[in-house]
Amino acid sequence: MSKTEHILITGAAGQLGVELTAQLRERFGADNVLATDIRDNKAVSASGPFEELDVLDKARLVQLVRDRQIGTIYHLAAILSAKGEANIPWTWKLNMNGLLNVLEVAQEQMDGGNKGSIEDYSDSKHDASARSNSYSGGIQIFWPSSIAVFGPDLPREQTPQNSPLNPTTVYGITKVAGEQLCAYYHRRFGVDVRSVRYPGLIGNKSEPGGGTTDYAVEMLRAATRGKTFTSPLKPDTRLPMMFMDDAVKAAMDLMDADAGLVRIRTSYNVTAMSFSPRELLEEIRGHINGFNVDYEPDQREKIAASWPDSIDDSDARRDWKWEPAYDLPAMVNEMLRPVS
């Protein structure tokens, strides 16, 4: 990021957005990181500049990018898996049109209006390091995908980077389409867009956003309050997970990487740990005696059953040296720190 360029975050009031905003402001200075969302949130507006922004309003997005000299966009605004099933048309509209607006703004801001052509960016002789020359003056984009892109026909253990993408939710469908849209804008126009497929994210500084894996946050909170938790998943349903500090680190590490090292322009598999509700319960009981969980699987169990048990993220580890810091014991210890 140059001295004249600033960072814009969409969906900054969300679970990932709150913590990413804080980390970016600590690194680059509060005045250089503009947080945006559809409504004010004191968690982000109290520490730096904040603007209300609906990502479907492209004119407003363009105005902020130009007025604030934005050079990097972290586009986080989205409707997640469980909430998405309750409103399919709105989930598609927000998730897809919001991403398209961000990609279009980046395309339009390329140096000299040179938007490239299919021939410019699709020929195999133009590798990523050569393409990086086209990014000068362009907007760099981070966009999160998800393990929701996977479906029931995949290898459930150590799911490879290149696996069938046949999701069972509208959220997952928007993520598959979004991955391809990102790769297309990179290939055709040279837009420097980067992405990771997040597993379930666990943090304690903001409210969960309506995802299937949010049960883990809810269970940990119930434990700190001394309440029995009712799990929406079966006891042995394992899912890939990640502590929020590692989620922020993954985004920032990928954005820091030299363009020539970023080989995958759909989305990288990343993970940190895998566990089931039963395994999380046992880890919590190591800190809080007598904590209990009841099991009443609902529609979230059906969604979780179509997702991997564990993820192979060797491409991210090789290409840009991805390495998580938190495993299950470290994550639970951090989440329960106030009561440990």
Residue extents of the structural domains in the chain: 78-199+243-271+310-325
Query: What pLDDT was estimated at residue 40?
Result: 86
Q: Cα separations (Å) of 281 from 158, 246, 284? A: 23, 22, 5
Query: What pLDDT was estimated at residue 83?
Result: 87
For residue 172, give the nearest of 213, 231, 215 by alpha carbon.
213
**Distance between CA atoms of 53 and 85, rounded to whole angstroms?**
24
Do 61 and 102 meet the contact criterion of CB atoms below 8 Å apart? yes
Residue 36, C-beta contacts closer than 8 angstroms, at least 6 positions apart: 8, 9, 10, 11, 12, 50, 51, 52, 53, 64
Query: What pLDDT was estimated at residue 80?
Result: 87
Half-sphere exposure of 210 (CA within 13 A, CB side): 14
Burial of 49 (0-12, 13-18, 19+ CB in 10 A): middle
E-strand ranges in 68-177 read 70-75, 140-142, 145-146
DSSP letter for 167, please: -
Query: What pLDDT was estimated at residue 43?
Result: 82
**Distance between CA atoms of 9 and 30, rounded to whole angstroms?**
12
CATH C-level class of 78-199+243-271+310-325? alpha beta
Cα–Cα–Cα angle for 319, 192, 5, rounded to 5 degrees: 115
Query: What pLDDT was estimated at residue 209?
Result: 65
Which two three-digit tokens encode residue 315? 């491409």
**Distance between CA atoms of 335 and 130, rounded to whole angstroms?**
44
pTM summary value:
0.89
Digitized pLDDT (tens) for each residue of the chain, 340 residues in all: 444 479 999 999 998 999 999 999 999 999 999 999 998 888 899 999 999 999 999 999 999 999 999 999 999 999 988 888 999 999 999 999 999 999 999 999 885 444 443 334 333 333 433 334 344 458 999 999 999 999 999 999 999 999 999 999 999 999 999 999 999 999 999 999 999 999 999 998 777 666 788 899 999 999 999 999 999 999 999 999 999 999 999 999 999 999 999 999 999 999 999 999 999 999 999 999 999 999 999 999 998 999 999 999 999 999 999 999 999 999 999 999 865 4
**Distance between CA atoms of 56 and 68, rounded to whole angstroms?**
19
Q: Cα separations (Å) of 337 from 1, 55, 200, 222? A: 35, 36, 20, 14
Q: What is the dihedral of CA 94, 99, 101, 103, to 10 degrees?
A: 180
For residue 278, give the nearest of 302, 297, 251, 255 by alpha carbon.
297
Three-class DSSP category at 58: helix
Q: Which active-site residues does the annotation give? A: 171
Burial of 31 (0-12, 13-18, 19+ CB in 10 A): exposed
